[in-house]
Copies of this chain bind each other. A is one copy, B any other.
């Protein structure tokens, strides 16, 4: 069993050759020079059947999730998405109808998010479907929102709601039979079709300090920000923004309750920190975009992420961030 973070730190970090564009492989994108005072933010993700999605998921949704996961990375960096490069490794027996539906999913999201596929590769593999997407977004020079710029005293903010996708995964796995059909399908949708915050991300430039998207779990991802920024954080459990469906799932005893919410992945919301003085602007921005922005805690001196109740007492959480090499996810 291999640890992804150890692998990156020990084996891949020396490959950056000290180039600043790599951000030490410690962020969600690389930043390379673009035209006229702008930079290209470049991110690359891979997804495999049986790990990141179910092999029998609708092909349209697999395609759209692939795009959205990458656009979420760009959004959290404050970048406007522009280009995609797509590598598809199809099983030998892939059906033409499957391919048509996969391509129609890609087309739908290219139209929706105004991004263009400008290159890639298509191969056949004897194994399961593997997809890799490189996404390129534009950001004014020096304006990208990094993991490393959180300051002690910052508020911690989260867009949308947290935990829906983790509960949605449990629903996909056949749990949550006692949930209403509406709640179950809401949670399942949140797992299967993330909503990358492309409208929000660029508007956070100049307001947010550190920022990243929540893909591996709220606490784990905030831990990344804390390590990169050399600070700690306290999250108030009572302030976590939950959907009605997530509350119903909690009440129904789905998963590990609060742990599922704070350590489950796939939310693809933006987790960011901002100076307390930015609160009014953020409240106005939330109203303007119609996207919830919840103040969920604060950055403190020290290290590590603590979950506290409203009296400030530490709540223990059983699970850390999801690690891709520690077991199957889907």
Interface status of A230 (Cβ within 8 A of chain B)? no
Interface status of A302 (Cβ within 8 A of chain B)? no
Interface status of A120 (Cβ within 8 A of chain B)? yes
Interface status of A248 (Cβ within 8 A of chain B)? no
Contact of A83 with B2 in the complex, beta carbons under 8 Å? no
Interface status of A136 (Cβ within 8 A of chain B)? yes
Q: Which of A14, A103, A127 has the most CB of B within 10 A?
A: A127
Interface status of A33 (Cβ within 8 A of chain B)? yes
Interface status of A47 (Cβ within 8 A of chain B)? yes
> Which residues, 290 to 330 on A, are CB-close (under 8 Å) to B?
324-325, 328
- The interface stretch among A86-94, A165-173, A189-197 is A86-94
Interface status of A203 (Cβ within 8 A of chain B)? no
Q: Given the complex, which residues of B lie within 8 Å of A115, measured CB to CB?
A: 17
Known pairs A44-B134, A122-B8, A123-B52; A2 contacts B90 (CB<8 A): yes
Q: Given the complex, which residues of B lie within 8 Å of A136, measured CB to CB?
A: 32, 42
Interface status of A143 (Cβ within 8 A of chain B)? no
Interface status of A180 (Cβ within 8 A of chain B)? no
> Complex: how many Å from CA A196 to CA B51?
35
Q: A81 → chain B, closest Cβ, in Å?
A: 12
Known pairs A8-B122, A132-B46; A83 contacts B21 (CB<8 A): yes
Residue of B whose beta carbon sits closest to that of A129:
B127
Contact of A123 with B48 in the complex, beta carbons under 8 Å? yes
Interface status of A22 (Cβ within 8 A of chain B)? yes
Contact of B87 with A46 in the complex, beta carbons under 8 Å? yes
Contact of A87 with B44 in the complex, beta carbons under 8 Å? yes
Interface status of A15 (Cβ within 8 A of chain B)? yes
Interface status of A121 (Cβ within 8 A of chain B)? yes
> Complex: how many Å from CA A325 to CA B15?
33
Q: A305 → chain B, closest Cβ, in Å?
A: 23
> Complex: how many Å from CA A102 to CA B7?
11
Residue of B whose beta carbon sits closest to that of A27:
B119
Contact of A116 with B15 in the complex, beta carbons under 8 Å? yes
Known pairs A2-B94, A11-B100, A96-B2; A44 contacts B124 (CB<8 A): no
> Complex: how many Å from CA A23 to CA B120?
12
Q: A64 → chain B, closest Cβ, in Å?
A: 13
Q: Given the complex, which residues of B lie within 8 Å of A84, measured CB to CB?
A: 15
Interface status of A175 (Cβ within 8 A of chain B)? no
Q: Given the complex, which residues of B lie within 8 Å of A7, measured CB to CB?
A: 99, 122
Contact of A50 with B134 in the complex, beta carbons under 8 Å? no
Q: A54 → chain B, closest Cβ, in Å?
A: 12
Known pairs A25-B117, A83-B21, A130-B89; A4 contacts B122 (CB<8 A): yes
Interface status of A107 (Cβ within 8 A of chain B)? yes
Interface status of A76 (Cβ within 8 A of chain B)? no
Other than the given A18-B116, A30-B118, A32-B136, 13 more pairs (CB < 8 A) read A2-B90, A2-B96, A2-B99, A17-B111, A33-B35, A34-B34, A40-B40, A46-B130, A46-B132, A48-B127, A51-B123, A124-B325, A125-B128
The 10 closest A-B pairs by CB, nearest first: A127-B127, A11-B103, A15-B117, A30-B118, A22-B118, A17-B116, A132-B132, A46-B87, A30-B119, A33-B35
